[in-house]
Amino acid sequence: MSAPKRQQSSEDVPYELIYWPSIPGRGEHIRLALEEGGATYTDTAQIEKGIDEVTAQVDPSNIGDDLNPPPFAPPILRHGDLLIYQTSNILLYLGPRLGLVPEDEGRPDAPYKVNELALTALDGLSNEVHDCHHPIASGLYYEDQKNEAKRRSKDFVENRLPKFLGYFERVLQGKASGEGPWLYGGQLTYADLCIDGTKFAFRKAMSAAEKSGKYVHIFRLYSAVKERPRIKDYLASKRRQDYSLGIYRYYEELDFNPESI
């Protein structure tokens, strides 16, 4: 039996991000990693008729190729012959290649530590945020589940958001976070880039959390990420799309002030 084929992904090949145009969404976590890592990449959100590539990938007739099963949904990353999807999976692949995971010999388990932190951030500050405005079904309009969204958002602000902010505050106070404002190993990792967007969706709650003084380290991290030279340039560029639809949406009626709950 012949040896199985292996993925060929030259480091000289540009990365290709395949994601919906006009919606930052989960693709934004990938963009932040690519930008911070100084990677050369293309983005279907910035390409004319880029949506055609997105729809082709998720078309029911797509059965994949010799090396790759068909992706279920964006974000999708192509790198040479490699095609992968799922936000956390893409970040797990990009992290070591872009210098977003500690590489010192004293931390051989660093990829798993960074991954668990990223997964936790994506669970609580991305997926749960999405479910606040679409608590019943993603296929329904927001207006069709508005009352349920209010109940879900109130609970998120009152219970879930403090739980996740409190967890990351504890992480940042721990020795494993190392020196500086970062979550792990004394350097910026892709996990630090997964805490983005919640300030937009829940402005009152996040403002109150910051003013409370309970989460000093997490807001210091948030500011430190924004001041990274490459991130700062990206945020000021036309490549950065405004949050509007997608995961991070702002609805005034969902923006509960925790002091009033």
**DSSP per residue over 212-253, as a string?**
HTTTHHHHHHHHHHHTSHHHHHHHTSTTSPPP-SSSS---GG
With 70 as the cut, is the pLDDT of residue 198 above it?
Answer: yes
| Residue given tokens 């997608």 in the structure block | 246
* Calpha distance 236→232 (Å, rounded): 6
Of 240, 251, 203, nearest to 22 by C-alpha is: 240
pLDDT of residue 4: 38
Q: Is the predicted pLDDT of residue 36 greater than 50, yes or no? A: yes
**Average pLDDT score over residue span 208-221:** 94
Determine what percent of the chain is predicted with pLDDT higher than 90. Answer: 77
Query: What is the β-pairing status of strands 15-18 and 41-43?
Result: parallel
Residue 10 — pLDDT band, cuts 50, 70, 90?
Answer: low
Q: Which of 69, 60, 62 is nearest to 89 (CA)?
A: 69
Mean pLDDT of 246-258: 87
Cβ(204)–Cβ(255) below 8 Å: yes
pTM: 0.91
Q: How far apart, in whole angstroms, are the C-alpha atoms of residue 253 and residue 256?
A: 7
Q: What is the pLDDT of residue 207?
A: 92
Q: Comparing C-alpha atoms, which of 142, 11, 17, 145 is closest to residue 85? A: 17
